[in-house]
Structure 1
Amino acid sequence: MQKNNYLVKQTIVFAVVLLVLFTSCGEETLYSNAYRCNFRFNTEIHNNTVLNQVTNPLIPGTYVRVSLSVRGSVRHVDLLPGTGTSESVPLTTAEERMQTYDMGADNGIIVGRSVYHGLLAFDAQCPNCLSENSGGSFPLSFHGNGTQMTCAHCHRVYDLNERGVVVSGEKGKKLMEYAAQYTGRLLLVHNKY
């Protein structure tokens, strides 16, 4: 009887040790909080943009680079899809004019619908170059069929469909990911605290 109790206790201790090891290893968080991100876009008001395609679950593998600019006194959302023609959407409603936008490390995010992981959003800067170099801008550009991003500085290639992991070049960090949600009316991209 004592032998059985000893085995049960040893098994419990072993299970607890494994649980601690597996919960403390690996990536600490899925979403990045290194740079502020807060983007909100109303697809009901602007219903003919490439962002409407990105939010459509029937069109996976579609990605767009989103940045902000000001022309005159009007703020614009500039959209550069992985494939296709770029467009600029003026933000003219009272709600849009009052909204505060934070666009990651250097005024750019990538939003899209992964073939495997649903709606995703990433920072449009190379995370490896940002951490390896003090300061600077390291924008990513679309590569191949519009589902990969390349850094011109370090030449790493990131796969958007695979949550931004490095698929070519020197090993390194995956893209900084932000939380992305679509309510049926609003596309929301933000930090997750």
Structure 2
Amino acid sequence: MSDALRARAAGGVEVAAGPRAVDLTVRLARVDDLPAVAAELTGPRAMALATLVATDETATPDGAFAVRYLFEPTAAGVDRFVTLLVAVDPAHPEVPSITRTIPAANWHEREMRDLFGIVPLGHPDPRPLVVHDGWPADCFPLRKSFDPAQRLPHLEAPEFPHVVAEGEGLFEIPVGPIHAGIIEPGHFR
């Protein structure tokens, strides 16, 4: 597997044992190699993205953000996890999005952008996921530089367009104000 991953990474990789001897940690030399290496893991290697974790390691000697993509085996009897590790320059906090080829990355990448300001370039849905609509655009609560005691400015939330479905055979069924005592009013379309 190590040779196949090296072949996909034009900038080179550093492969080391993971937390267990059978696991691998693959450190990419270039963040641009991420989509190709991730595609190798989910395609021919039959692995699935389990999670994505970003950390602020700017105070370490690397001086960068770190993003770890954990892939798990999908085949029965296989017990090897692979972690792709990329260092992200704080001056240009961007990584190529893998959501179009690995849909499971969708919410993980959006959380990473909301909480760390690491932008997944080419993401199909760039709306905020974790922070509310009135959250300041340049304020990232999981960065070490974030001051939790600071008072954030009040911003008006942008208008969210309400889409009305129309056409023959479509019905709108109002639900609420109380349905089983657990949900707010809504509409089925």
TM-score by length of 2: 0.26
Bigger fraction of residues in helix: 1
| Structure with larger RCO (C-alpha < 8 A, sep 6+) | 1
TM-score normalised by L of structure 1: 0.26
